[in-house]
A and B are shown apart, each in its own frame.
Chain A
């Protein structure tokens, strides 16, 4: 049973075709890494999964139901920059996710509810290695620490899908390695379905259970915008880590069907 189903999805902006004929089915708990050249639509695909953009053709199903057309708590997200709120402390940044859904009028909890939310947030922050920085503002954190915070902030919602848009693109190689370890650990623990856009091929190979390469199959030199990108390779990886064994043949069928 596939968790996310992408059915013949196209994305066009006016004359410009960004993505064409995407067909995909992803099992729950899969760690998909999306790679490809700049401007080939992998971030566009991520935005569609997030609900920030609507596909111009086709549909995306989550658990058999059409995807909500706006961002909601079922899908967490971490961007490369601007993922955390500068005016809240580290602790409040994470506790916010517990406060907002429970208090539609004030947007904040009071008394015992607040204490409980903060305890829960602190626990998660300890796990991602930010236990020492609870009262700091994000601007006092390093880039890697900010991304740890952003991940914790997304995970406190217990989303079923986590979308990562080049989350480690701006980090040093050493820090990046630590972040990979953290991300894998959290993924194994939570059984999340992850989609991660990256420019770093080795990152894509080492982290994912499934690597998707976005590329243009057809190119008209006189009208470079006439054709969009597709998923040209869909490679199962890191067998040992794979959560569900049964998805493999299905993927290969699909690649064959797409003429790859």
Chain B
């Protein structure tokens, strides 16, 4: 049988999903064990028990200086920044995208402007954000917003243009004005697309968050990673990275489930 015609069965599929992860972990712990056997004080590839004790220290022991649990504080402040940035970017991107994509008079000035703005590397203007918005929360949220809004807006604009003209005409024959046409037809048809767009932008949003936290912050997951780098504390960095990955993956999964739950028509309509 040809390779392209062979499909894994259920058990086989699960096995194949887990296999690469298991291999990666195996390779890591073999490497870690051999280095630690040579030098018990090696910090580069900490063992599972070293990382477990680091997690225990960060997440389940009160910090002596601040009296809080650093890991959870970092998580909540990072997620708050990320959530705020994503929410503002989603709303802005949706509004700009729909305006540019469905109303030609708005699209004419907006569309080229958004194309140009989306080419500005957001990290290059981070210093400007710090100067303008100060070193507080606002500048970090703004970096995420500025970083991903143009991409979301351009994506939504494109999708708005892809709505068949027949549907827009039909809506007009059903008595819609411009506003109700957007409210009842364009907006609901683009909502699932917005969630997809957000999923695609999650990676960039995290990137901007970590970058902003690394440079100017007093808490946050990115701040902690860059702080403990000074002591080469890989036993903290690695669990933090894994935790960030897990959070990002969960958000992605959540957005996907939300699409299915809220827009059951979407899967069928694409065909």
Contact = CB atoms under 8 A, between A and B. Distances in A.
Interface of A: 50, 52, 70-73, 75-77, 79, 81-88, 96-97, 99-101, 103-108, 137-140, 150, 153-154, 157, 159
Given A83-B170, A86-B269, A137-B268, A157 B175 contact: yes
Contacts of B268: 86, 137, 139-140
A101 B264 contact: no
B180 interface: yes
Contacts, number: 93
The 8 closest A-B pairs by CB, nearest first: A139-B268, A107-B180, A101-B175, A86-B269, A82-B164, A71-B172, A82-B166, A107-B184
A80 to B, nearest CB: 9
A96 B189 CA distance: 15
B271 interface: yes
A106 B183 contact: yes
B188 interface: yes
Contacts of B174: 73, 96-97, 100-101, 153, 157
Chain B binding surface SS class = helix
A73 B174 CA distance: 5
Contacts of B266: 87
8 contacts: A81-B164, A85-B167, A85-B185, A96-B174, A99-B184, A100-B184, A104-B180, A137-B268
Contacts of B177: 104
Contacts of A96: 174, 184
Size band of the interface chain B makes with A: 20 to 34
Nearest to B264: A137
Contact of B166 (A72, A83, A99): A83
Contacts of B184: 96, 99-100, 107-108
A46 to B, nearest CB: 11
B133 interface: no
B232 to A, nearest CB: 53
A96 B264 CA distance: 19
Nearest to B184: A107
Nearest to B174: A97
Contacts of A137: 264-265, 268-269
Interface string B10-49: 0000000000000000000000000000000000000000
B179 interface: yes
A85 B176 CA distance: 13
Contacts of B169: 50, 52, 71, 77
Contacts of A79: 166, 170
Given A100-B180, A137-B265, A86 B189 contact: yes
